[in-house]
Amino acid sequence: MANAPKNLDVVHLTQALITRPSVTPVDAGAMDTVQQVLESLGFTCTRLKFGEIENLYARRGTSAPNLCFAGHTDVVPSGVRNLWRYDPFGAEIHDGAVIGRGAVDMKGGVAAWIAAVSRHDDLSGSQKGSLSFLITGDEEGVATDGTIRVVEWLKDQGEIIDHCIVGEPSSSAQLGDMIKVGRRGSVNATFTVTGKQGHVAYPQRALNPLPVLVDLLGALKARMLDDGYDQFPPSNLEITTIDTGNTATNIIPQDARARINIRFNPAHTGAQLCAWFDEVAAQFAAKTGAQIEVKSTISGEAFLTEASTFVDLIANVIKDTLGLDTDRSTTGGTSDARFIRALCPVVEFGLVGQTMHQINECVAVADLEALTDTYSALIEAYFSKFGSSS
């Protein structure tokens, strides 16, 4: 693909990516497809493999500012095959939509930005700058060998990214109706309470871990974490599992476990919440005599990309191209934006996410084409605003 044509077909590129069954951590050639197209467009590509994960950083141009597009080529499993109307990796078009796993999350978004870039020559003249791509194969997995490792590599290389667009399916019901300017943090904790097994008829000879665990969870749930934060909803704690593995009816179990998750706004840090878990566990252990072990994992910290010329530029392009006043949101789960924000201001803007991770995931052809047009307008507007004069 040494001489790729201008105006790459976004639909064909989306189909080419979907037909690569790149279920995390398997790449299945998806990154090769991206690299071949980008090299044909004049990008210098660096493949970065960490563990089993294929990653790619590509750049065209050497001057500032550097506008980066970040995305992922890995997808979640397709689920039960016979529930799909069509092959989840066949990328067939039916009723005006491309059907397949990853269509909106987020191979369609990757294809749309690449197609938009194909409309722009190397930046020259009075407006200068660079375009880059940060593409990972580990967004849908544990995210330990993906974007977070590439960000570390970029820092080590002294590579500067000035602003970043993450192509996650941020739109809610209509293309462009929502962008993400921040995300809540996420922390998981597992509590294991160890008591003493015994016969239910002789509770004085045992120490039942279940009431201890239930009371501990009740204390955690009773705390009002906050009543919200600027542009964020209140933080919430959810109990996601409780179990003992006890199959007998006449045994007080030896131990019991529970797991919780907190989605938190910038009123907290992950470290503060983990310290709180340890404090509450120690209090209940001292009061009951049970042993309580806590294992906590911080998946990401809360962040907000403050109102700025960059955020306004994206909103204005959406208004001019799609005719919508976009909602600047912080809702949803975590994304790789939580790692990229260590480098530069980051905003998520992509396709409508209503079918992501679902059976029969699909993207409207019209949305792919409209997103490509909007991305193209965004690239032009960005370098007109931020491009350095020669």
CB atoms inside a 10 Å sphere around CB 251? 14
Bridge partners of 164? 68, 346
Cis amide linkage into residue 25, ω under 30° from 0: yes
User: Is 54 an active-site residue?
Assistant: no
| pLDDT tens, position by position, 45-60 | 999 999 999 999 999 9
Amino acid at 307: A
Check pLDDT > 50 for residue 132: yes
Amino acid at 107: K
- Choose among 171, 109, 163: nearest CA to 139: 109
Determine the distance from the C-alpha atom of residue 177 to the mean position of all C-alpha atoms in its chain, rounded to a whole number.
19
| pLDDT tens, position by position, 187-245 | 999 999 999 999 999 999 999 999 999 999 999 999 999 999 999 999 999 999 999 99
Sign of CA dihedral 169, 332, 52, 42: positive
Contact of 136 with 72, CB cutoff 8 Å:
yes
pTM, two decimals, is 0.89
Output the pLDDT for position 256.
98
pLDDT band, residue 151 (cuts 50/70/90): very high
| pLDDT tens, position by position, 70-122 | 999 999 999 999 999 999 999 999 999 999 999 999 999 999 999 999 999 76
Output the pLDDT for position 122.
65
Distance between CA atoms of 115 and 369, rounded to whole angstroms? Answer: 9
DSSP states of 160-225: ---EEEE-S--BSSSTTSEEESEE-EEEEEEEEEE-B-EETT-GGG-B-HHHHHHHHHHHHHHS--
The single residue of 54, 105, 138, 139 carrying the catalytic annotation is: 139
> Taking the CA of residue 222 as centre, how many other CA atoms within 13 Å lie in the half-sphere pointing to its CB?
7
Sign of CA dihedral 158, 162, 166, 167: negative
Output the pLDDT for position 5.
52
The single residue of 74, 105, 145, 162 carrying the catalytic annotation is: 74
Contact of 60 with 130, CB cutoff 8 Å:
yes
User: Is 140 an active-site residue?
Assistant: no
Distance between CA atoms of 31 and 195, rounded to whole angstroms? Answer: 50
Domains, the chain, in order of start with CATH, read 10-183+302-386 (3.40.630.10), 185-300 (3.30.70.360)
3-class DSSP state for residue 324? coil
